[in-house]
Amino acid sequence: MQIRRGVEVTGITADDDGVDVQLAGGGPVRARYVVGADGGRSMVRRSADIPMVGPDASRSSLIAEVKVAGEPVQQGKVDARGIHGLYPMGDGMVRVVVTEASLGPATEPTLADLRQALSDVFGRDFGVHSPTWLSRFTDATRQAELYRKGRVLLAGDAAHVHSPTGGLGIGLGLQDAVNLGWKLGQVVQGVSGGDLLDTYHAERHGAGERALKYTMAQSLFQKADPRQEALRDLLGEVLRVDGAGAPIAALITGLDVAYDPGPGHPLLGRRMPDLDIATGAGPARVYGLLQRARPVLLEFGGPELELGAWAARVQHVKATYDGAWQLPVLGQVAPPTAVLVRPDGYAAWVGEGSADGLAEALATWFGKVGR
């Protein structure tokens, strides 16, 4: 495999068999699949003609790293326009975020724009100069209609952009990548058919949609407005009611994500807890077993299970665990007798005293024919 760094993708052309990737100053390169992980203005997404839908921006902010005249001093302010601040970074540079008076254009901002915005808010521009970085972001909230279009897939900001409020962007993008990585690996190795990639859209689009909803609600509170402050205070009171904060905490951390759980044990389709278990090889953490990016069948007593043709692909670990099975939001659940854990940490099958459904789950997620 060749890794090319610092190479700009200028477009892609996809057909039924593969994708031609055009590169600045070279190419095209032919690929079987392309993952656009190229940020909010994704060239891959635009070339593949995948629409981004969602509410337009209502406000914009400038973000910069600059030098200031005189000693850098921390400043912060929240007003009817939004949040503003200057944060000395300890190396002579100052990180500046300032909300603009009106929605800025979709062009690159200038130092003059930054000086003006600072003067509007703080009454002075701090003599900002020598920017190493100057950009504009907005609260536009958009999501790609399709995370998969044939041989083109989108992940991270290429698939969803939103206000930075709440700091969800990186976690959301990493969860996309972790969900997609093992599936794409299996497809290119011929273990699974291409239809496994449809589950990427099915699972991650819904999770992204929910997170975007949260960022939109949260961004409302990032300015001084008596009515919004009243609503925030009221929500604060509601969240202090017993147990009411737990679902919101799980939403913010992404721990409430459930992939089409269907009927069955509550763990099905949810994130396997990172339990301290005892195995024949000694104590282990469940997530440690996932570091090889391979599925794991964890047997906790119960009937002896057979992996059959999948034994070469799926790790089989017999373990004991005596603690409580606690799931985010749901709380304590009945201890399962076995769990088939996908490489991304989600439960593909849960045993409740029998092997019923195990072969079907193995075929669905890890290839129909064992090799």
Ligand X SMILES: Cc1cc2nc3c(=O)[nH]c(=O)nc-3n(C[C@H](O)[C@H](O)[C@H](O)COP(=O)(O)OP(=O)(O)OC[C@H]3O[C@@H](n4cnc5c(N)ncnc54)[C@H](O)[C@@H]3O)c2cc1C
Residue list 83-122, contact with ligand X (CB under 6 A): none
| Interface segment toward ligand X; rule CB under 6 A; list 125-133, 162-170, 208-216, 241-249 | 162-170
What is the nearest approach in angstroms of ligand X to the Cβ of residue 298? Answer: 30
What is the nearest approach in angstroms of ligand X to the Cβ of residue 52? Answer: 14
Contact 9, 22 (CB under 8 A): yes
* Contacts of 329 by beta carbon, 8 Å cutoff, 6+ apart: 246, 247, 250, 255, 256
Closer to ligand X by Cβ: residue 28 or 39: 39
CB-hemisphere CA count at 13 Å for 10?
8
Residue list 224-283, contact with ligand X (CB under 6 A): none
| Interface segment toward ligand X; rule CB under 6 A; list 38-46, 67-75, 142-150, 327-335 | 38-46
Contact 126, 98 (CB under 8 A): no
Residue list 131-160, contact with ligand X (CB under 6 A): 137, 156-158
Selected binder of ligand X within 76, 92, 167, 193 (CB under 6 A): 167
What is the nearest approach in angstroms of ligand X to the Cβ of residue 25? Answer: 12
Helix, strand or coil for residue 101?
coil
Selected binder of ligand X within 164, 185, 254, 302 (CB under 6 A): 164
Residue 37 in contact with ligand X, rule: CB under 6 A: yes
Q: Are strands 34-36 and 152-154 parallel, antiparallel or unpaired?
A: parallel
* Gap between the Cα atoms of 181 and 179, Å rounded: 6
Selected binder of ligand X within 69, 170, 202, 278 (CB under 6 A): 170
How close are the terminal C-alpha atoms of the chain, in Å? 23
Q: Are strands 315-320 and 296-299 parallel, antiparallel or unpaired?
A: parallel
What is the nearest approach in angstroms of ligand X to the Cβ of residue 147? Answer: 13
Q: How many residues bind ligand X (CB under 6 A)?
A: 18
Helix, strand or coil for residue 244?
coil
Closest by CA to 138, choosing from 61, 226, 237, is 61
Residue 174 in contact with ligand X, rule: CB under 6 A: no
Closer to ligand X by Cβ: residue 141 or 192: 141
Residue 173 in contact with ligand X, rule: CB under 6 A: yes
Helix, strand or coil for residue 203?
helix
Selected binder of ligand X within 169, 343, 345, 351 (CB under 6 A): 169
Residue 290 in contact with ligand X, rule: CB under 6 A: no
Closer to ligand X by Cβ: residue 9 or 319: 9
Residue 38 in contact with ligand X, rule: CB under 6 A: yes
What is the nearest approach in angstroms of ligand X to the Cβ of residue 138? Answer: 9
Q: Burial, 212: exposed, middle or buried (Cβ in 10 Å; 0-12, 13-18, 19+)?
A: buried
* Contacts of 18 by beta carbon, 8 Å cutoff, 6+ apart: 30, 31, 32, 33, 151
CB-hemisphere CA count at 13 Å for 47?
23
Contact 166, 215 (CB under 8 A): yes
CA distances from 36 to 62, 173, 212, 275 (A): 26, 12, 19, 34
Residue 78 in contact with ligand X, rule: CB under 6 A: no
Selected binder of ligand X within 105, 171, 288, 308 (CB under 6 A): 171
Closer to ligand X by Cβ: residue 87 or 137: 137
* Gap between the Cα atoms of 368 and 361, Å rounded: 10
Residue 26 in contact with ligand X, rule: CB under 6 A: no
Closer to ligand X by Cβ: residue 38 or 125: 38
Closer to ligand X by Cβ: residue 45 or 270: 45
Closer to ligand X by Cβ: residue 42 or 192: 42
Query: Where along the sequence are the contacts to ligand X (CB under 6 A)?
Result: 8-9, 37-39, 43, 63, 137, 156-158, 164, 167-171, 173
